[in-house]
Amino acid sequence: MTVHNLTVAYRQHPALHHISGSFDPGSLTAIIGPNGAGKSTLLKSLLGLVRIDSGHVDISVPRKRIAYLPQQAEIDRGFPISVMDCVLLGYWQSAGLFGGISKEMAEKADAALHAVGLNGFAERPIGSLSAGQFQRVLFARILLQDAELILLDEPFNAVDAKTTEDLLIIIQTWHTQQRTVIAVLHDNEQVRRYFPQSVLLARRLVAWGDTAHVLTEAHLRLAKNMPEAQDPNAPFCQPGVAA
Ligand SMILES: Nc1ncnc2c1ncn2[C@@H]1O[C@H](COP(=O)(O)OP(=O)(O)OP(=O)(O)O)[C@@H](O)[C@H]1O
């Protein structure tokens, strides 16, 4: 999966500016950078969820083999469904929205709930769960998806240390299964420990590659100095012209 000279702007203000790089199949990559650096925008660009102003993304994974976990704030939990029904939605790409659920599928869903430590939660309405419990449900749903590419946007936001550890183990398992995993994260120590590859953004690309070479003091200082507010007097960005 390759990103070529990608620029994405909201109301003519680039959120991502001339980004190029690639994700190897089976790699485990963290996307990091300060608030407003364009991390979520990069994930959404890979998924085709935002309009690309210039450049392009080459992605060979079929849409139905991609799993996406948006930030919790973007998910409506008011929908009155149970934990089990929410997990079973992991099958909709393969079975269709009205496809039947076989005994084997139901057993796998049970096993997924067990794997994320949510035994006994199957009948609970999703609106009654804590943020950490709900995040476990969303991981269980991805476990059913058999995805080749898994995109996670701040998966540990508002999640306690124990849950984070459990979810990191699941991510490691996906990595050993040769799935490509890309996660937006904020904890540099966690990234150093668990994520071999990193992309450091500050609207433009600061560094992309092995985490040890990306998370250097010099790179982190460069990223930290990114002004978060957009400059209303910035010169117009010429699409297609390298920065
Ligand atoms: N739909 C939108 N309309 C207008 N501006 C947007 C929109 N989405 C994002 N932005 C702006 O684009 C910039 C990048 O946003 P993005 O969410 O990609 O950053 P991020 O690195 O994921 O930030 P955070 O760490 O705070 O989640 C920010 O300045 C944000 O305000």
- What digits encode the pLDDT tens for the residues 94-106? 666 566 778 888 8
Return the minimum-mean-pLDDT range out of 130-134, 174-178, 201-205, 210-214: 130-134
Q: Which residues line ligand 1 (CB under 6 A)?
A: 10, 15, 33, 35-41
**Two tokens at 35?**
């608030």
Ligand 1 pocket test target in 32, 41, 49 with most atoms within 8 Å of CB = 41
Query: Is the pTM value of this prediction over 0.80?
Result: yes
Say if residue 236's pLDDT is above 80. no
Q: Tell me the mean pLDDT in the region 177-182.
A: 97
Question: Rounded to the nearest 10 degrees, how much is the dihedral formed by the CA atoms of 98, 101, 102, 106?
Answer: 170
Q: Which residues contact 230 (CB under 8 A, 6 or more apart)?
A: 13
234: confidence class by pLDDT, cuts 50, 70, 90: low
pLDDT at 242: 46
The reported pLDDT for the residue numbered 111 is 92
- Residue to substitute in 7, 10, 185, 191 for testing ligand 1 pocket (most ligand atoms within 8 angstroms of CB): 10
Q: Quote the CA–CA distance of 191 and 193 in Å, as a whole number.
A: 5
Distances (CA, A) of 227 to 1, 6, 93, 165, 203: 29, 20, 40, 33, 10
Distance 117 CA to ligand 1 centre (A): 33
**pLDDT score, position 7:** 95
Atom of ligand 1 nearest to the CA of 230: 29
Is the separation of the CB atoms in 116 and 166 below 8 Å? Answer: yes
Lowest mean pLDDT among 57-71, 99-113, 114-128: 99-113
Query: If you measure from the C-alpha of residue 38 to the centroid of ligand 1, how many angstroms do you get, rounded to a whole number?
Result: 6
Locate the DSSP E strands across the chain: 2-10, 13-22, 28-32, 54-58, 66-69, 149-153, 180-184, 197-202, 204-210
Predicted confidence at residue 229, as pLDDT, reads: 56
CB atoms within 10 A of CB 29: 23
Which of ligand 1's atoms lies nearest the C-alpha of 71?
27
pLDDT surpasses 50 at 226: yes
Q: Whose CA is nearest to atom 12 of ligand 1?
A: 15
d(CA 140, CA 70): 15
Domains recognised in the chain with CATH numbers: 1-61+148-156+179-232 (3.40.50.300)
| pLDDT range class, residue 49, cuts 50, 70, 90 | very high
Ligand 1 centre distance from Cα of residue 185 (Å)? 15
What CA–CA distance (Å, rounded) separates 196 from 27? 8
Average pLDDT of the residues in 81-92:
88
User: Could you tell me how many residues make up the chain?
Assistant: 243
User: How confident is the model at residue 243, as a pLDDT?
Assistant: 45
Per the DSSP assignment, residues forming a β-bridge with 9 are 14
Q: What percent of the chain has pLDDT over 70?
A: 89
Query: By CB neighbour count within 10 A (0-12 exposed, 13-18 middle, 19+ buried), where does 103 fall?
Result: exposed
Beta-carbon count within 10 A of 87 CB:
29
Residue 141 pLDDT > 50, yes or no?
yes
Q: Are 171 and 147 in contact (CB under 8 A)?
A: no
Say if strands 204-210 and 197-202 run parallel, antiparallel, or are unpaired: antiparallel
- Flag the least confident range among 5-19, 165-179, 188-202: 5-19
For position 48, what pLDDT does the model report?
Answer: 92
The average confidence (pLDDT) of the chain is: 88
6-24, pLDDT tens digit by residue? 999 988 788 999 999 999 9
Give residue 227's pLDDT band: very low, low, confident or very high (50, 70, 90): low
| DSSP class of 236 | P
Which ligand 1 atom sits closest to the C-alpha of 201?
Answer: 21
- Long-range contact pairs involving 202-208 (C-beta distance under 8 Å, separation at least 24): 202/33, 202/34, 202/37, 202/226, 203/14, 203/15, 203/16, 203/17, 203/36, 203/37, 203/38, 204/16, 204/17, 204/18, 204/19, 204/243, 205/18, 205/19, 205/20, 205/21, 206/33, 208/21
- Between the CA of 122 and the centroid of ligand 1 the distance, in Å, is 34
pLDDT at 129: 92
- Nearest atom in ligand 1 to the alpha carbon of residue 11 is 4
Instruction: Give residue 22's pLDDT.
Output: 96
